[in-house]
């Protein structure tokens, strides 16, 4: 440990592992430390099942009920990958995709008036959907066609709309979409978590809907992907990338002090050892004095031995409950994965409910979601604080990631990573630096 590094990365959560991989690939000498004896931090998938029960102080699970403990890999933070999103691009450009296998999530549903309906994603589904009346369907279809055909660099496709000044609400009004349609479009297709976007630029909403439909076009059934053996495989893949490019890994290593000189980081101390460095990259848990709490996220892990009702027995689904439907200010998300992803024993499903906390009684807030799940065998609720760094790190050279938010996919995660990388290195990540000489490429 007593060496000098360009960067020391603390914590092996997904964001830190992507950063570690990107820094190593850029030729930096990286030391990557985790205080835990496992990879992944909060992004780990817990295995065997008893680890999950122990974490929440529950009596050990019975194998005659839950099957073999090590057939389970339970995520603590539920998210899906958008098939055409940032993380998939990062996986492909860095070659980390070779370490992983994925399955397409089978369906995407939205909650309306106490029941769930499939999110219509193309004109054919829009016409068959039970979310809208006859005339509304036509208007929605026209809207979808407009969005799909729109090209930002070709004003002819803008249809008399100034995409640089029009708000989303004006866009909706132009197509005559009613409140209900606006609701599922904004929340289930564009993934806005509240309604502030209505007054923001329409082009932002259009880009998000395009991401949804481009992702859907990649693999078919839904725009989401989920890795075999759980999300914990993602940080491990990037950790391997970092190691292959020379990054050194230390687990189970306490971090006692981040050593500063004149307000600038010079090293990290563990016990009596000090590793010197020019920069530190870390998650909020390593620097409690340099982050501020900006909110809370509630996540509820539910173990079920049946699929969710009205999802055509799907082995994986996402269900979005738009805020307005349940008189809230932020959406509630449900993600369901199962034994088909090697994250649960045969016949079992893991449903995760998550949302931003709005009241003093967060477990009551997620009740509408729990009502959709039916009989829940075991339920674990955890409320976690959401932290953001108090500064951008340029002075101290300590670059801190934000906590994982309640969003249902990795887009904000990647935006944070790319932004931190740029702040830390002064440059955009150059994907061409990832050479193809790692063994040999897939043919």
Partner 1 sequence: MASIKVPEQKVILCGEYGVGKSSLFRRYAYDTFVSGSSRQLTLGLDHYNKEYRINDKSIGLQLWDTGGMERVASITSSYYKFAEAAILVFSLDNAASFHVLSQHLLEIVTYAENAKIFLCGNKMDLEGSTPQVTEADMESFCEQCHNLISATYKTSCKTGEGVEEMFRDIAYHLVQSNRSRIELQSVDVNAFKIAPAEEVTEPSCLC
The binding site for partner 1 (CB under 8 A) comprises 37, 39, 47, 70, 83-84, 88, 91-92, 95, 97-104, 123, 145, 148-149, 218-219, 225, 228-229, 232-233, 236-237, 239-240, 243-246, 248-251, 340, 437-440, 442-443
**Which residues lie closer than 8 Å to 289 by C-beta, 6 or more apart?**
none
Q: In the bound complex, what is the minimum distance in angstroms from residue 248's beta carbon to partner 1?
A: 6
Write out the H or E segment, with its range, that includes residue 332. Answer: strand 332-338
Distance CA 185, CA 195 (A): 11
**Minimum CB distance to partner 1, residue 48 (Å):** 9
First and final C-alpha spacing in the chain: 39
Q: Give whichever of 133 and 271 is closer to partner 1, judged by the CB atom.
A: 271
Q: How far apart are CA 39 and CA 148, in angstroms?
A: 41
CB of 403 to partner 1, least distance (A): 23
Q: How far is the CB of 219 from partner 1 (least distance, A)?
A: 8
Tokens of 308: 């969710």
Rg of the chain in Å (alpha carbons): 23
DSSP assignment string, 146-168: HHHH--TT-GGGGTT--TTT-BH
Nearer to partner 1, 161 or 434 (CB): 434
How far apart are the C-alpha atoms of 146 and 158, rounded to whole Å? 8
The dihedrals phi and psi of 387, each to the nearest 5 degrees, come to -110, 150
Least gap, CB of 412 to partner 1 (angstroms): 20
Helix axis angle, 86-94 to 14-25, nearest 10° = 40
Closest CB to partner 1 among residues 19, 366: 19
73: tokens are 């890999």
Minimum CB distance to partner 1 smaller for 93 or for 278: 93
Q: Would you put residue 284 in left (φ > 0), alpha (ψ -120 to 50) or beta?
A: alpha
Least gap, CB of 174 to partner 1 (angstroms): 19
CB of 243 to partner 1, least distance (A): 4
Residue whose pair of structure tokens reads 């708000």 in the numeric block? 167
CB of 203 or CB of 300, closer to partner 1 = 203
In this complex, which beta carbon is closest to partner 1, that of residue 245 or of residue 410? Answer: 245
As measured in angstroms, the least distance from the Cβ of 366 to partner 1 is 31
C-alpha to C-alpha distance for 360 and 221, rounded to whole angstroms: 38
Cβ–Cβ contacts within 10 Å for residue 42, how many? 18
Q: How far apart are CA 425 and CA 410, in angstroms?
A: 22
**Based on CB atoms, which residue is closest to partner 1, 55 or 379?**
55
Are the CB atoms for 282 and 10 separated by under 8 Å? yes
Shortest distance in whole angstroms from residue 216 CB to partner 1: 13
Of 84 and 408, nearer to partner 1 (C-beta) is 84
Return the structure tokens found at 395: 């002075």
> Does residue 48 have a cis peptide bond before it, meaning omega lies within 30 degrees of 0?
yes
- By beta-carbon proximity to partner 1, the closer residue of 47 and 356 is 47
Q: How far is the CB of 351 from partner 1 (least distance, A)?
A: 20
Question: Which residue, 206 or 300, has its beta carbon nearer to partner 1?
Answer: 206
Neighbours of 70 (CB within 10 A): 12
């Amino acid at each position: 440990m007593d060496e000098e590094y360009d960067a020391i990365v603390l914590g092996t959560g997904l964001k830190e592992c992507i950063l570690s991989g990107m820094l190593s690939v850029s030729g930096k000498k990286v030391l990557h430390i985790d205080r835990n004896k496992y990879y992944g931090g909060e992004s780990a998938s817990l295995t065997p099942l008893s680890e999950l029960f122990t974490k929440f102080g529950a009596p050990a699970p019975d194998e005659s009920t839950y099957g073999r403990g090590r057939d389970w890999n339970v995520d603590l933070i539920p998210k899906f990958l958008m098939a055409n999103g940032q993380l998939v691009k990062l996986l492909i450009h860095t070659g980390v995709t070779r370490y992983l296998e994925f399955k397409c999530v089978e369906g995407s549903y939205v909650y309306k008036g106490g029941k769930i309906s499939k999110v219509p994603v193309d004109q054919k589904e829009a016409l068959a959907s039970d979310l809208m009346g006859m005339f509304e369907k036509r208007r929605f279809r026209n809207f979808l066609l407009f969005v799909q055909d729109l090209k930002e660099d070709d004003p002819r496709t803008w249809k008399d709309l100034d995409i640089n000044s029009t708000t989303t609400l004006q866009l909706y009004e132009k197509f005559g979409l009613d409140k209900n349609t606006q609701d599922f479009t904004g929340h289930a297709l564009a993934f806005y978590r509240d309604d502030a976007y209505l007054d923001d630029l329409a082009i932002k909403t259009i880009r998000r809907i395009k991401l949804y439909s481009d992702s859907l076009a990649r693999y078919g059934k839904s725009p989401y992907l989920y890795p075999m053996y759980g999300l914990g495989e993602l940080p491990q893949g990037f950790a391997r990338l970092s190691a292959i490019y020379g990054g050194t890994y230390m687990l189970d290593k306490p971090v006692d002090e981040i050593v500063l000189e004149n307000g600038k980081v010079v090293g990290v101390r563990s016990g009596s050892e000090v590793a010197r460095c020019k920069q530190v990259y870390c998650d909020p848990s390593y620097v409690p004095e340099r982050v501020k709490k900006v909110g809370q996220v509630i996540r509820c892990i539910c173990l079920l031995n049946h699929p969710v009702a009205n999802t055509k027995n799907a082995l994986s689904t996402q269900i979005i409950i738009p805020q307005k439907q349940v008189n809230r200010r932020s959406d509630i998300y449900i993600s369901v994965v199962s034994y088909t992803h090697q994250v649960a024993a045969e016949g079992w499903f893991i449903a995760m409910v998550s949302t931003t906390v709005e009241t003093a009684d967060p477990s009551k807030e997620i009740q509408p979601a729990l009502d959709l799940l039916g009989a829940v065998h075991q339920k674990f609720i955890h409320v976690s604080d959401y932290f953001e760094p108090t500064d951008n790190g340029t002075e101290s050279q300590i670059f801190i990631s934000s906590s994982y938010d309640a969003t249902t996919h990795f887009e904000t995660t990647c935006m944070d990573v790319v932004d931190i990388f740029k702040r830390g290195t002064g440059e955009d990540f150059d994907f061409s630096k990832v050479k193809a000489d790692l063994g040999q490429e897939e043919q």
